[in-house]
Chains A and B, each alone.
Chain A
Amino acid sequence: MIRTIGTRDLAERLIAYEARTSKPSKKTGPGTNFSPFEKLRPHLATLMGNAGFHALLARACTLAGPEVAWLREIKVEADGSLEGLGKLESRWGPKAITEGKIVLLAQLLGLLVAFIGEVLTLHLVREAWPKLPLDALDFGRGNKNET
């Protein structure tokens, strides 16, 4: 699977944007929710159904697994939601959790780019985050990393 530096950049921006703008969960505290995935989920499920989103996220988890050890302990539910993150933070620390989310989101975006191309992937991202500025984003810059 090809993951461009652009998808990593985009994932970092989305995670940072969500950390700034989303309200922290009472149960888990800041940084531990999966809100970028939750925001993407309905948009992708509309396109491909819950089962389709589940399959895509599970594939992204598998691809990110070698880079992020704790992702191997995460379970993708049938509806495409991710469970089990709260318990993991105490063991892995917020920095590792955030890095893992970036890697996972970058893989998910990389899969979308591979399937439907950069234009439509950005289109989906803009639908989910209409206020997020994406003008300076360039999928094409930098080398492509095979993972």
Chain B
Amino acid sequence: MKRKSGAASRKAEKKNPGQPAKVTIRKLPTGVRGLDDILGGGIPEFSFNIIAGTPGCGKTTLAHQIVFANATVKKPALYFTVLGEPAMKMLRYQQQYSFFDASKLGAAIRFINLADVVLEQDLNTVFEEITKQVTAIGPAFVVVDSFRTVVRRMAAGASEVEMQSFIQRLAQFLTSWQATTFLVGEYVQEEVRDNPVFTIADGLLWLSQVPERNSVVRKLQIMKLRGQASVPGLHTIRISDGGLQAFSRTLGFVRKMSSPSRRRRLSTGIPELDKMMGGGIREGDSLLVAGPSGTGKSALASQFIAEGIRKGEPGILALFEERPRGYTDRADSFGLNLKTPQEKGSLEILYLRPLDLSVDETMQEILDAIDRIGAKRLAIDSLVGFEMALAPGFRADFRESLYRMIVALTGAGVTIVSTVEVEDTFTALPFSHYAISFLTDDIIRMRYVEIDGQLRKIIVVIKMRGGNHSKDIREYIITDKGLVVILPRVTQYDGLITGIPTRAGPRPPQKDEPAPEPKAKK
């Protein structure tokens, strides 16, 4: 259901002046970062929902988070515990999360144990006990955790019709009492078709854990939500000290895209390279720097970020391989001070190396950092390290995920330089393993060549989507000034990009030619 703009809704009202306005369903915040967007704005008020999934997915934590985010003395919550986790243990563990607010217990959130009733009585008595408590307290939120155990316990003595009638009555009663309800239960997906509770429910939030090799990733799916459009598909969730956080698979696409009317050219900090690129990287572009190990990709990325900071454009370094300390120390050796801007807040270094990351989490981290410091430049170093940091399940979709990430990040107004390590071959000039060249606006390729008994480095601009660029193959060195392009177009060799060029002209006289790189002297 698309939200109409103000003008559109006014137009619609004008068309039907005599008709009464349709009901507005209030959307309640879940307190779970990212989940409201996935739900299409929040949980519909007075809805009857199920939080389902296998053990350990975070169902109870989700229910608590919603309750703690919403319950007040005037709009209290009733949390019925049944045969699953006793309230005492629930309180013991849930108070570890930062959302847990002990001052809400009692007046705003009441825990009531239904285990005795469920064990000793029938469905009617369970229903009566719930209605008694709800009538007495008038809660705005009701949770039954675990509802599955109520049903399982009762199923032995009740017919299917009785069970359906119980669920129907419960849903009817709680909705009539203006309670937004959550039934928490351990279900498997095969039950969705036959279990009446899923038919009656307005919302079905399905949590799961997906093992992949040694990694486990938690996922969330909104299988059903009446009255509003949720984001379909499986979304990654993570449970940390703050509780659940959800990462929509469309994260970043819904942000307001900034598209400057006239794009500037941003300097890389390497004047000769800027010239080769027709003046620098076009603002808002994504540049891929590809080359084998040791060719200076990280140096180029550091120079790009440092140049931005020098010009008052805050930057982010997202590192997936090297530790920040080593990275800034090396930048120091090029005369690039990355430590002071970090202290002053114009540079943020994100070091992301867990082995079960999702692309969406990474994107969220970067988007948060962009918002924090107002970043204009981003260097991702490197894509190979990024892929390694992902949970195996996400690596299969790396190309697609990278596409989403680059679109989202450039949409957030940053200019991106990503590095990717490629192995040099002597028959081809690959740009990356991922066939992602179509994702990037610009490509720079670096490679080793054998010239006069030396392993030298050449650089070439392969592609600039936003304009013309130099076709020259240029030699460069890495000095204490970083990456420096030293020589004009190399004309005396053929086959440079093969890595084994052949001399096209006579060899100029050479007197003990010094090695072009200072460090090669040692």
Contact = CB atoms under 8 A, between A and B. Distances in A.
Contacts of A123: 102, 105-106
Interface of A is mostly: helix
Interface stretch (A11-19, A25-33, A41-49, A99-107): A41-49
Interface string A35-71: 0000000000111111110000000000000000000
A45 B91 CA distance: 14
B266 to A, nearest CB: 53
Contact of B111 (A47, A115, A119): A47
B429 interface: no
Contact of A46 (B91, B92, B102, B112): B112
A49 B110 CA distance: 14
A51 B91 CA distance: 18
A137 interface: no
A120 B112 contact: no
B87 A47 contact: yes
A46 B111 contact: yes
A52 B86 contact: yes
A98 B102 CA distance: 32
Nearest to B116: A49
Interface in B92-138: 92, 95, 102, 105-106, 110-113, 115-116
A51 B115 contact: yes
B313 to A, nearest CB: 47
Contacts of B91: 47, 115-116, 120
Given A115-B88, A117-B95, A49 B102 contact: no
B88 A50 contact: no
Contacts of B88: 47-48, 52, 115-116
Contacts of A49: 86, 113, 115-116
A127 interface: yes
Interface string A104-147: 00000000000111011001000100000000000000000000
Nearest to B112: A46
Given A115-B88, A116-B91, A51 B116 contact: yes
B92 A116 contact: yes
A120 B113 contact: no
Given A52-B88, A116-B88, A117-B95, A45 B102 contact: no
B116 A120 contact: no
Contacts of A115: 88-89, 91-92
Contacts of B87: 47-48
Contacts of B92: 115-117
Nearest to A46: B112
Interface in B368-401: none
Contacts of B106: 123, 127
A123 B108 CA distance: 13
Nearest to A111: B88
A120 B115 contact: no
Nearest to B107: A127
B113 A52 contact: yes
A117 B87 CA distance: 14
A40 to B, nearest CB: 13
A120 B106 CA distance: 10
Contacts of B116: 49-51
Given A49-B115, A117-B95, 5 more contacts: A47-B87, A52-B115, A115-B88, A123-B105, A123-B106
Interface of A: 45-52, 115-117, 119-120, 123, 127
Interface of B: 86-89, 91-92, 95, 102, 105-106, 110-113, 115-116
16 contacts: A47-B87, A47-B91, A47-B112, A47-B113, A48-B86, A48-B87, A52-B113, A115-B89, A117-B92, A117-B95, A119-B102, A120-B91, A120-B102, A120-B105, A123-B102, A127-B106
CB-based closest 4 A-B pairs: A49-B113, A47-B87, A49-B115, A119-B102
